[in-house]
């Protein structure tokens, strides 16, 4: 039995934890007498590295940081949630998340988290500390130094966190926060015993040559695990939900373009609105469906400027479990993200969700592995610029694709099925323990 502590600097109720963290942990805990590799073939032993994966079992503990813990969680709710997760095999712990003032609050959370992890190590003797991105991994690294027991440290890097903050305009380029984060990152790269990245591009940048071997040049294991989705959640989108949601929204037989996600930062608001404007010219009955946690006033005036009346669009926020239902009513999907250095490491969850619902994607090039995804599977169109002709050409290209919905679902199953994340995490855990 391998015991792991998964450290996450988000709250349990946040959508990212509900749709990414918890599904991954559930998949990680699955006991498989025989495990599939990435080509859906059965492997019992990794003979090259002397690793026996056949009976790997993982006991999971989870630490989250809850915003406004005292007001949003009662002691009874915490106890009930702990009991509910315990029924699934997840041992949940929580600490309060502090937001302001930003830097002192974060430092305080790191201090509290480090103390908790150190105590957990000494009492529970975990085999692996699994840090989701930089701050949780830092807590694990500091706690391990202070503890008698020395578990393996897994740096689940996800994206290029310091560069994401500068590319989004949150931190000034070359500022002290960025430089400090990069120093911490370099230290964590040395301290960690294994790594996870979201894209093949990120693996090539950070661990050149590891695609062939599965190991970085320092001998530590590396896995690419994109943002996956539970395909079971999206079966409803493929089984009659389309007519129901269209009737509910009053869309009838109109041509529906959909966008999921936030606006601002590296999410291209004006360009997305321009695309919707071109869709309106392409199809006079076009309808814009925008599912966003951002304020509606960020996009609604832009849609009206581009010819959309109040009857031509809906901008709303929906629960994660409602996303498949809403997506099932659309015809095409858009995903425009700022093409910059940090986004080479990005795996947009929205793209996996679009494909799982059979929706072809119009996306801009230069974001993670999206170029290869669309060109290899022929599940959409790539644009190189943000002009009217680029949008028009992409819409025409999608209009000429045959059986695209089936190819989209197949691509989602091959590239983003949750079982893929489980297989790769278990393989990585096995290699960590073998070392």
List pLDDT tens digits, range 342-394.
999 999 999 999 999 999 999 999 999 999 999 999 999 999 999 999 999 99
Give the three-class secondary structure for 241: helix
**Buried b vs exposed e over 398-431: b needs ≥16 C-beta within 10 Å?**
beeeeebbebbbebbbebbbbbbbbbbbbbbbbb
Indicate if the pLDDT at residue 34 is higher than 90: no
| pLDDT band at residue 56 under the 50/70/90 scheme | confident
Q: Span 76-91, mean pLDDT?
A: 97
| pLDDT band at residue 55 under the 50/70/90 scheme | low
| Per-residue pLDDT, 31 | 57
Check: CB of residue 220 under 8 Å from CB of residue 390.
no
DSSP string, 46-98: ETTTTEE-TT--EEEEEEEEEETHHHH--HHHHHHHHHHHHHHTEEEEEEEE-
What percentage of residues in the chain have a pLDDT greater than 90? 83
| Per-residue pLDDT, 237 | 64
| pLDDT band at residue 173 under the 50/70/90 scheme | confident
| Per-residue pLDDT, 42 | 32
Q: Span 394-410, mean pLDDT?
A: 94
Could you tell me the pTM of the whole model? 0.90
Mean pLDDT of the chain: 92
Indicate if the pLDDT at residue 33 is higher than 80: no
List pLDDT tens digits, range 319-354.
888 999 999 999 999 999 999 999 999 999 999 999
| pLDDT band at residue 52 under the 50/70/90 scheme | very low
Nearest residue to 306 via CA among 286, 278, 265: 278
β strands within 274-312, DSSP E: 287-291
Indicate if the pLDDT at residue 36 is higher than 50: no
| Per-residue pLDDT, 46 | 41
Distance (Å) of CA 55 to CA 52, 59, 61, 90, 295 = 8, 13, 20, 19, 48
| pLDDT band at residue 418 under the 50/70/90 scheme | very high
| pLDDT band at residue 213 under the 50/70/90 scheme | very high
List pLDDT tens digits, range 131-143.
999 999 999 999 9
Torsions phi, psi for 38 (to 5 deg): -70, -15
256's enclosing H/E stretch is strand 256-260
Q: Span 74-87, mean pLDDT?
A: 96
DSSP string, 215-239: B-TTS-BEEE----B-GGGGGGGGT
Spatial CB neighbours of 257, under 8 Å, sequence gap ≥ 6 = 275, 276, 279, 286, 287, 288, 289, 330, 331, 332, 333, 334
List pLDDT tens digits, range 228-280.
999 988 876 666 788 899 999 999 899 999 999 999 888 999 999 999 999 99
Structure letter (DSSP) for residue 298? G
The token duo for 131 is 């840090």
Using CA atoms of 137, 69, 24, 379 in order, give the dihedral in degrees to the nearest 10: -100
334's enclosing H/E stretch is strand 332-335
Indicate if the pLDDT at residue 28 is higher than 60: yes
| Per-residue pLDDT, 239 | 64
CA 300 to CA 424: how far, in whole Å? 41
| Residue pointed to by tokens 């199953």 | 413
Beta partners for residue 361, in sequence order: 333, 380
């Amino acid at each position: 039995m391998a015991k792991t502590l998964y450290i996450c600097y988000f709250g349990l109720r946040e959508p990212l934890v509900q749709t990414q963290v918890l599904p991954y942990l559930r998949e990680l805990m699955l006991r498989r007498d025989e495990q599939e590799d990435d080509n859906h073939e059965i492997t019992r032993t990794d003979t090259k590295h002397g690793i026996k994966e056949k009976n790997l079992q993982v006991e999971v503990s989870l630490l989250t940081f809850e915003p406004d813990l005292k007001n949003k969680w009662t002691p009874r709710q915490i106890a009930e949630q702990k009991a509910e997760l315990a029924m699934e095999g997840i041992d949940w712990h929580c600490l309060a998340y502090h937001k302001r003032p930003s830097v002192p609050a974060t430092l305080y959370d790191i201090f509290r988290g480090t103390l908790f992890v150190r105590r957990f190590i000494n009492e529970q003797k975990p085999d692996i500390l699994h840090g989701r991105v930089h701050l949780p991994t830092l807590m694990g690294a500091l706690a391990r130094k202070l503890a008698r027991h020395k578990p393996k440290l897994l740096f689940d890097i996800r994206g290029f966190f310091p560069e994401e903050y500068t590319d989004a305009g949150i931190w000034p380029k070359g500022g002290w926060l960025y430089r400090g984060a990069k120093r911490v990152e370099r230290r964590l790269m040395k301290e960690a015993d294994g790594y996870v990245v979201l894209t093949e591009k990120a693996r090539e940048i950070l661990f050149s040559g590891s695609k062939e071997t599965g190991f970085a040049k320092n001998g530590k294991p590396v896995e690419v695990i994109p943002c996956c989705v539970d395909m079971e959640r999206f079966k409803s989108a493929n089984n009659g939900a389309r007519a129901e949601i269209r009737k509910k929204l009053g869309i009838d037989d109109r041509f529906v373009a959909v966008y999921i996600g936030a606006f601002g930062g590296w999410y291209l608001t004006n360009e997305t609105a321009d695309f919707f404007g071109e869709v309106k010219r392409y199809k006079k009955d076009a309808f814009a469906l925008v599912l966003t946690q951002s304020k509606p006033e960020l996009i609604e005036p832009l849609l009206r400027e581009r010819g959309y009346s109040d009857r031509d669009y809906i901008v709303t926020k929906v629960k994660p479990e409602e996303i498949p239902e809403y997506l099932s009513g659309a015809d095409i999907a858009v995903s425009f993200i700022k093409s910059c250095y940090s986004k080479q490491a990005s795996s947009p969850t929205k793209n996996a969700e679009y494909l799982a619902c059979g929706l072809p994607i119009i996306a801009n090039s230069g974001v993670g592995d999206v170029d290869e995804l669309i060109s290899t599977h022929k599940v959409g169109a790539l644009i190189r610029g943000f002009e009217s002709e680029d949008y028009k050409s992409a819409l025409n290209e999608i209009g000429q694709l045959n059986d695209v919905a089936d190819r989209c679902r197949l691509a989602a199953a091959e590239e983003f099925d949750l079982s893929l994340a489980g297989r790769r995490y278990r393989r990585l855990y096995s290699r960590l323990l073998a070392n």
